[in-house]
Structure 1
Amino acid sequence: MAAAEMAASRKRMDVLSGVVPELKDIASAIDHLTKEDEAEELKRSLEDRKQTLQNSKQEQKELQESIREVRHNVFMKVLHSEKVRQIAEKEMKMMQEVDAETEKLKKEKATLMKRKEEMQREIGTYSPYRDFLEDVCKTSGHKNADDFATYYRNMLSLKEKFTEERKQRQEKKEHLTKELRTVEEQKTLQWLQRTNQLAELEEELKKAQSETLKWEREWSRIQTMKAESAQTQNCIKFSIQNTYEMCGYKITDQNVDDTTRQLKEIKAFIQEISEITKQYQKSLQS
């Protein structure tokens, strides 16, 4: 409402300022004052709203505190009742365990009493044997039945000891027998391997002997061929020497092998004779 009145006043001042120019500055001043009043009013309105918001936050905080307090009280009551319930359950469980343990002890006591009665009856059953042992002790020189029982236990201990030693010796014997059998099997296997190797070596020896005999025969053949070749060469040598002497040449040393030169001279001699023969035939024809 105040804003509307101020707007109407501003409008009237604008009209008057158009009529009276001096009133224009006054209108501007009034307008400025009006804007300041509006700003102040707006500021107060904002402060009121801010205060209202702060009051709302305070009320909300107090409400949250109240809710937390109520929740805490409820939780403590529930916790207290839960602890009471747990304590009661624990005590009840302990009482049940005590009752069960008591019942168990009663049963064990009854069992032990029954076992005691059975042992007493059993002792009564063995009493004739004890009397018999006492009579045996008197005749065997032992002081009492306990002394004889100790002697008997010692004898049993010695028997068990000897039995154990005999068992160990038997086990050792079996172990040694097993080792001997293993060694014999290994030796047999080694003998078979050696026999197989010997057979293979004998086979290789036979092959080597056969190959040696073959090469010996080849060597003998080569020696024979060499001897025959030497004999042939000697025959050729003697034939060349005879032919050489027949051509009128003389051999100074028979041991010197000079067949190449002799063949050349024989060839030259034959060529010379052939030439002479040709000339002679020509002379006869003419």
Structure 2
Amino acid sequence: MAVNLEEYFRTVFEEHLQTVPMPEEDLRTGTTRILDKRREIKYMDDVLRNQKEEFEAKKKSLEQRRDELRKKEEKLKDSLLNFNKYLKDNDAKQARGLKKAEAEKALVREREKEVQQLQRHIAALLTKKEKMQKRVSQNRIYWSFLDSVLKSSKKFEDIGKLIGRFETLVCMREQLLKRQSTVESEREREAVQLRRYVSERSSALLHYNNTLSQLQTELDTILSQALRWESTWNHIQATAAKETLLLGQIKIVTLNLYHMTGRVTSGAEGFNVDDTLDQLDRIQLYIQKRADIVRDLGSDKGSIKASDHA
């Protein structure tokens, strides 16, 4: 605040210095100038003092005004807080009142619904009462009949026992009917099972018959093939007998040829009689040797004849 006052006074002083008329220097002396300056300074001091006093007064007035405004503001805040609290309390009371009114309305509606339900229930009970009264009036004849039966019969002491006996008989009848129904159901189930079993056995028998027919067909085919193979085997045996006979004849001829070559079949130089292949080899060797001898003799005769002619 002191800095602001100093700036303020300096500014005012400079403004007054600028506004004070300055006399011409050539018309005044030095003393006059000094006196003028002192008067100016005194004047300026007075002006500054007056302005300072005015400023202080304004400052105090402003501070008082500010304090008053602050107090009024606090009062206004308190008033606003109290008013807000009053409004909140009023809203809460109003909300509670509305809620209570709604609850009372809901309770009234619920009571009205209960009254309507009770009225409907009473109406239903009255209707049922009328129906029961009609049934009582209609069934009164049966009561009279039971009373007459009770009087004419000595087995029952009162109508309650007669009705109890009747209910027992009805219960037994229902049990017998249930038993009969159960037996019928079991019989139907067993009949269904029997039909299913017969159907399954028939299907199995048909399957077995088909299988037997297939097996019989296969057996006939196998027997036919067996006969064909038996005929083939007989033919093979007959052919083998012929070939065996031919082989025996070949062996005999070979053995005779072997003997004709001068070979023996016993002793140290003997040969196995059954080894026909070796015999044929030896016969072939014998024939080759004889052919070589004949060829040599023919060549010798030719050379002799040539020498005779010469």
Check whether TM > 0.5. Answer: yes
CA deviation string 1:14-62 (max 9, x = no partner): xxxxxxxxxxxxxxxxxxxxxxxxxxxxxxxxxxxxxxxxx99999999
Q: How does 1:74-89 map to 2 (within 5 A)?
A: 74-89=87-102
Give, as a single letter, the amino acid of the residue that structure 1 aligns with 2:114: E
Instruction: Quote the Cα distance in structure 2 between the aligned partners of 1:180 and 1:79.
Output: 86
Structure 2 match to 1:258:
275
Query: Shift of residue 135 of structure 1?
Result: 1.8
- Whether 2:165 is the aligned partner of 1:148: answer no
Query: Shift of residue 152 of structure 1?
Result: 1.4
Instruction: Quote the Cα distance in structure 1 between the aligned partners of 2:299 and 2:110.
Output: 167
Query: What is the root-mean-square deviation in Å for CA atoms of aligned residues?
Result: 3.9
Between 274-283 and 155-164, the greater mean CA deviation after superposition: 274-283
SS of 1:143's equivalent?
Answer: coil
Q: How does 1:127-166 map to 2 (within 5 A)?
A: 127-141=140-154, 142-166=156-180
Structure 1: which 4+ aligned runs deviate by more than 6 Å? Answer: 55-66
Query: Shift of residue 255 of structure 1?
Result: 8.1
What is the number of residues matched between the two proteins? 241
Aligned match of 1:201 in 215, 225, 232? Answer: 215
Aligned match of 1:91 in 78, 84, 104? Answer: 104
Structure 1 runs not aligned, ≥5 long: 7-54
Instruction: Quote the Cα distance in structure 1 between the aligned partners of 2:103 and 2:126.
Output: 34
Between 61-70 and 134-143, the greater mean CA deviation after superposition: 61-70
Query: Structure 1 residues 267, 67: closer, same or farther in 2, change over 3 A?
Result: same
Structure 2 runs not aligned, ≥5 long: 1-7, 15-66, 306-310
Query: Shift of residue 186 of structure 1?
Result: 2.1
Instruction: Quote the Cα distance in structure 1 between the aligned partners of 2:131 and 2:161.
Output: 26
SS of 2:125's equivalent?
Answer: helix
Larger relative contact order (C-alpha < 8 A, sep ≥ 6)? Answer: 2
Q: Return the index of the structure with the highest Cα Rg.
A: 2
CA deviation string 1:109-134 (max 9, x = no partner): 34424433443343233323222222
Instruction: Quote the Cα distance in structure 2 between the aligned partners of 1:87 and 1:170.
Output: 70
Query: Structure 1 residues 69, 196: closer, same or farther in 2, change over 3 A?
Result: farther
CA deviation string 1:225-246 (max 9, x = no partner): 4333322221110111122233
Structure 1 match to 2:197:
183
Query: Structure 1 residues 223, 58: closer, same or farther in 2, change over 3 A?
Result: farther
Between 176-185 and 140-149, the greater mean CA deviation after superposition: 140-149
Instruction: Quote the Cα distance in structure 1 between the aligned partners of 2:280 and 2:117.
Output: 143
SS of 1:196's equivalent?
Answer: helix
Query: Shift of residue 82 of structure 1?
Result: 1.6
SS of 2:128's equivalent?
Answer: helix
Query: Shift of residue 251 of structure 1?
Result: 4.0
Give, as a single letter, the amino acid of the residue that structure 2 aligns with 1:270: I
Query: Structure 1 residues 242, 77: closer, same or farther in 2, change over 3 A?
Result: same
Structure 2 match to 1:51:
none
Task: Say if 2:257 and 2:283, in contact at 8 Å, map to a contact too.
Answer: yes
Instruction: Quote the Cα distance in structure 2 between the aligned partners of 1:205 and 1:59.
Output: 134
Q: How does 1:243-282 map to 2 (within 5 A)?
A: 243-252=257-266, 256-278=273-295
Structure 2 match to 1:105:
118
Task: Say if 2:255 and 2:273, in contact at 8 Å, map to a contact too.
Answer: no
